[in-house]
Copies of this chain bind each other. A is one copy, B any other.
Amino acid sequence: MVSIVDVAKAAGVSNKTVSRVVNGEPNVKPATKTKVEQVIRELGYVPNMAARSVRSSRSYTFGIITDFISTTPYSGDIVRGIQDWAEQNRLTVLLANTNDDRDKEREIWRTFQSHRIEGVLYVSMYHREISPSPGAVSIPTVLVNCHPEPSNGYPSIEPDDYQGSRDLTRHVLEHGHRKIGYLRLNPRLLGAEMRLEAFRDTVREAGLSEADIDIRLGMEGPIGAETNLVFEETRKMLSGPDRPTALMCGNDEIALQAYLAALGLGLRIPEDISIVGFDDFRTVSLALKPELTTAALPYYELGYRGAERLTKLIEGQDVPSDRLALPCPVIARGSCTQEPG
């Protein structure tokens, strides 16, 4: 492998001069610079990051720790956001996965330390509370799509489930709906509480009473092995004579099942019943007919801005607030329209 000395020899200059050219430092005569650049191209010289890192004790590398990837589709977008930011700032990204295993996690922190990682993005694949177990030497860390237990104060960045659900509820109300059904997410998910809470608060503000809303549990049980009540609950809810004109779902997967149940009952969407979801799982939300009105989880932004926060943290700039919430914008599509009555 060709080194800086090889280039220096071939160009008839010292290695320091080559170093200057490579790193864009000043005080190099244009002619020398051109010559060196030419030799670099001819020899196919690529700087050795490891050597650079040893000497300068900077690795220009971020680490990503994920818990499990596959539970949520599109959560890979978080990683993509991080990568884009990294690329724009000439950073490299190391990736590791814990599979939710504490021993593995400890091992990963060690590996990251051995690579002298400058910072870590701790990425959860669903929104939740978390307690990372870093090694003895602490590396600057930002939590993405999760937040720390109150005791240990990592900075974090997460979706604003409350705002998303509130805006979605308003969207439904603005379309004239006054009888609204609600299918709850698995209560074990952090988002479940916040979304339901926002729904309750918002319909109350709009003057609806308990009799106007019909809240039912859609899923329950351990994550990844939950009991699914959506289909039956939807059928029950929509079979009665006094059925709601709009149905809000804890997420898009629940919305999908609500579609199937409604259709099976001979109901048309949105003519007979408006339906909205949450998350914007595009394989679902765009495949449904009519396409699903929902609130988008800002996965990409979570990653991108999480990486941005981490950089600020490393550089010692003050990080504005410990927990940062990113908006979940309402994506209005065809499944929620004006209440017919």
Contacts and interface: CB of A to CB of B under 8 A. Distances in A.
A283 B79 CA distance: 20
A224 to B, nearest CB: 10
A44 B289 contact: no
Contacts of A59: 50
A213 to B, nearest CB: 24
Given A57-B1, A259-B260, A281-B283, A47 B83 contact: no
A73 to B, nearest CB: 3
A51 B53 CA distance: 8
Contacts of A136: 44
B96 A83 contact: yes
Nearest to A262: B263
Contacts of A110: 46
A191 B84 CA distance: 29
A92 to B, nearest CB: 6
A116 interface: yes
A231 interface: yes
B97 A94 contact: no
Contacts of A260: 259-260, 263, 288-289
Contacts of A69: 76-77, 79-80
Given A73-B73, A259-B260, 16 more contacts: A1-B116, A44-B135, A46-B114, A46-B135, A47-B114, A50-B53, A68-B80, A69-B76, A73-B74, A73-B281, A75-B76, A79-B95, A92-B94, A92-B115, A231-B289, A264-B268
